[in-house]
Structure 1
Amino acid sequence: MLPYKELARMDKLVHEPARLSILTALSACTLAEFLFLQELTGLTKGNLSSHLAKLEKANLVVIDKHFVRKKIPQTTIRITADGRSAVERHWQQLASIHEAIRKQGAHVHLSESKSIQR
């Protein structure tokens, strides 16, 4: 299969840039507070909430809403084992596709230079 076709077949839930950013950030820590994750990703509250809801529905993250000192709301998010596997697989697929494209490009480039030399 051509590597370009593989790009189109990647998991769109994970591949979407905001969700990829969220999952990648969460894969680097045990859990993150909502506001920290918002700052880290640069997403608006509404946008982050929307993407987190999709990731939670797919069982890639767990969201915990609770109160600190009985009155301060706090939302924490952690990546699940499925989420960690999905984001790791995604980055591995991207690296593999990128390498295949680079090799293909080098092959095309070598073929072109041989035809020019003749």
Structure 2
Amino acid sequence: MDFDTLVHQPTRLQLFAYLYRHGESSFSEIVDELDMTEGNLASHMNKLEDADCVAVEKQFVDGSPQTTYRLTDHGREKFEEHVGQLEALIESLEE
């Protein structure tokens, strides 16, 4: 079974799952909720954005910059495919 390393990498898998569950989330929410450093989050989000898995919106809120992320349709599909592969693996172990 070949896992997609973009999704399967532990930190990115956590990001996919978080955004899948929560929809749109701000940079600071993700840093706090997943206990990540800002640099680590930025690095992983750049990879996901380059792969067309997350959409990024930058705006100013009360004079401060705010970046929000959400999974694209492509990102949702990749995550769902990965979950399906994990479920198939579990089922194969039960046989």
TM-score when scaled to structure 1?
0.76
1:52 aligned residue? 45
**1:86 counterpart letter in structure 2:** K
Structure 1, unmatched stretches of 5+, are: 1-5, 104-118
Percent identity, please.
38
1:79 Cα deviation after fit: 0.6
**2:67 counterpart letter in structure 1:** T
In structure 2, what is the Cα distance between the partners aligned to 1:100 and 1:22? 27
1:29 Cα deviation after fit: 2.5
Alignment of 1:17-96 (within 5 A): 17-69=10-62, 71-96=63-88
In structure 2, what is the Cα distance between the partners aligned to 1:39 and 1:15? 22
In structure 2, what is the Cα distance between the partners aligned to 1:68 and 1:48? 21
Q: CA RMSD in A?
A: 1.0
1:102 Cα deviation after fit: 2.7
C-alpha offsets along residues 73-106 of structure 1, whole Å, 9 cap, x if unaligned?
1010011000011111111110111210232xxx
Kindly name which structure, 1 or 2, has the bigger radius of gyration based on alpha carbons: 1
1:30 Cα deviation after fit: 2.7
In structure 2, what is the Cα distance between the partners aligned to 1:77 and 1:51? 12
In structure 2, what is the Cα distance between the partners aligned to 1:26 and 1:98? 24
Runs of 4+ in 1 over 6 A off after TM superposition: none
TM-score when scaled to structure 2?
0.94
Q: CA contact under 8 A between 1:18 and 1:41: conserved in structure 2?
A: no
Q: CA contact under 8 A between 1:62 and 1:79: conserved in structure 2?
A: yes
C-alpha offsets along residues 31-50 of structure 1, whole Å, 9 cap, x if unaligned?
00111111222211100000
